């Protein structure tokens, strides 16, 4: 096994800045980034939606002042940085460091054949939530690259993705070649309510029958008598989980329960499930989410085997963070509690990407390990 040349490079450096004007926030971020790590040639750049119109200006400013050419990132509903969550303020966050020049490629749309020379790759990607072709683009790029991690950016305003330029549509980001070791983990934010069921009648996003019975009857049984008496209470709390076929663990994709027809006994969900497809009902559960996040982090710590972390990218659902755990900074606090101090940047997404699938209510963490002391 050959040594990872990237592990011997210095750790990344992360900083953020806030302000009513993008220039003020960017200058504050830059001041905290300095001094830059030795040989820095790559950066992540994220901004909150207050600065959505200014993404190109932010990129130009940081590229010219740092002399770092290669940047990826975008505009997100909220940021996750070392010091915690930022959702409502105008804010800019950046993380910069060095990567072997022949082991990464910034891309928009497709890999352009680069993966053939560097397979298996890990793609750190950002998607456009307004593009209906994104789920298939995730599958296609993962088949070409090997593994993806990332999320969907802001759905408001102009181009919200960044990959050398501000862009929109499809996927954009950076591919890391096989010469860079990458560790990833995903954590669920919901807990299953009962058994896995079979859809026996459906049309597009409407499920009429489950296990040969009216779909709403099955839902009522799963949620219990108290919630079944007033189904308005399940909005935002009860969701549908689509089990991942061929997965050895309890992996499932969460989709929103978007409608109920009490007269017909039908339910509508945010995805087309074919007849014969599998589903289960899940609930948002802060305790289960916290436990699963700790499980994921403990597993990553074991895989690190005492090595430091050069950089970390965390993508969490917009429905997590303070909205799920009841107080801000719960997730970054737990990340540092388990893994120690390391450069961390991330964002709250409109959908999370792990391997070749689009998830909801999950957290996806990507780590670049350093050399063992």
Q: What is the mean pLDDT of residues 108-130?
A: 93
CA angle 138, 62, 91 (to 5 degrees): 75
- Residues 197-225: tens digit of each pLDDT: 999 999 988 999 999 999 999 999 999 98
Residue 289 — φ and ψ, nearest 5°?
-65, -40
- Residues 150-177: tens digit of each pLDDT: 999 999 878 999 999 999 999 999 999 9
Q: What is the mean pLDDT of residues 44-68?
A: 97
Q: How far apart are CA 368 and CA 149, in angstroms?
A: 13
Q: What is the mean pLDDT of residues 244-253?
A: 72
- Could you tell me if 66 and 35 are in contact, meaning their C-beta atoms sit under 8 angstroms apart? no
Residue 116 has pLDDT above 80, yes or no: yes
CA atoms within 13 A on the CB side of 355: 10
Token code pair at residue 9 = 């490079």
pLDDT at residue 233, as a whole number: 86
pLDDT tier at 1, thresholds 50, 70, 90:
very low
* Structural element, H or E, at residue 24: helix 22-33
């Amino acid at each position: 096994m050959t040594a990872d040349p990237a592990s011997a490079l210095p750790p990344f450096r992360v900083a953020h800045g806030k302000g009513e004007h993008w220039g003020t926030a960017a200058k504050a971020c830059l001041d905290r980034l300095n001094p830059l790590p030795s040989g820095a040639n790559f950066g992540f750049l994220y901004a909150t939606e207050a600065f959505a119109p200014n993404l190109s200006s932010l990129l130009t400013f940081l590229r010219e002042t740092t002399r770092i050419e290669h940047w990826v990132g975008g505009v997100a509903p909220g940021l996750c940085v070392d010091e915690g969550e930022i959702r409502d303020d105008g804010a800019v966050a950046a993380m910069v460091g060095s990567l072997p020049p022949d082991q990464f490629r910034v891309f928009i749309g497709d890999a352009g054949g680069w993966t053939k020379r560097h397979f298996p790759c890990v793609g750190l990607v950002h998607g456009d939530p307004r593009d209906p072709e994104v789920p298939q683009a995730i599958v296609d790029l993962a088949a070409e690259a090997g593994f993806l991690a990332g999320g969907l950016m802001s759905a408001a305003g102009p181009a919200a993705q960044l990959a050398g330029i501000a862009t929109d549509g499809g996927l954009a980001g950076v591919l890391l070649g096989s010469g860079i070791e990458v560790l990833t983990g995903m954590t669920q934010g919901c807990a299953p309510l009962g058994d896995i069921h079979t859809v026996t009648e459906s049309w597009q996003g409407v499920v009429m029958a489950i296990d040969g019975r009216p779909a709403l009857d099955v839902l009522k049984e799963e949620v219990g008598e108290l919630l079944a008496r007033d189904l308005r209470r399940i909005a935002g709390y009860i969701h549908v989980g689509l089990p991942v076929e061929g997965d050895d663990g309890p992996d499932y994709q969460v989709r929103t329960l978007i409608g109920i027809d009490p007269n017909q006994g039908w339910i509508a969900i945010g995805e087309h499930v074919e007849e014969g497809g599998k589903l289960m009902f899940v609930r948002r559960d802060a305790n289960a989410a916290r436990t699963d996040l700790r499980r994921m982090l403990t597993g990553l710590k074991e895989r690190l085997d005492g090595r430091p972390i050069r950089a970390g990218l965390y993508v969490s659902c917009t429905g997590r963070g303070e909205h799920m755990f009841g107080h801000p900074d719960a997730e970054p606090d737990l990340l540092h509690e388990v893994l120690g101090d390391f450069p961390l940047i991330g964002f709250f997404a409109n959908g999370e990407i792990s391997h070749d699938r689009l998830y909801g209510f999950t957290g996806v963490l990507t780590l670049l390990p350093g050399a063992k002391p």
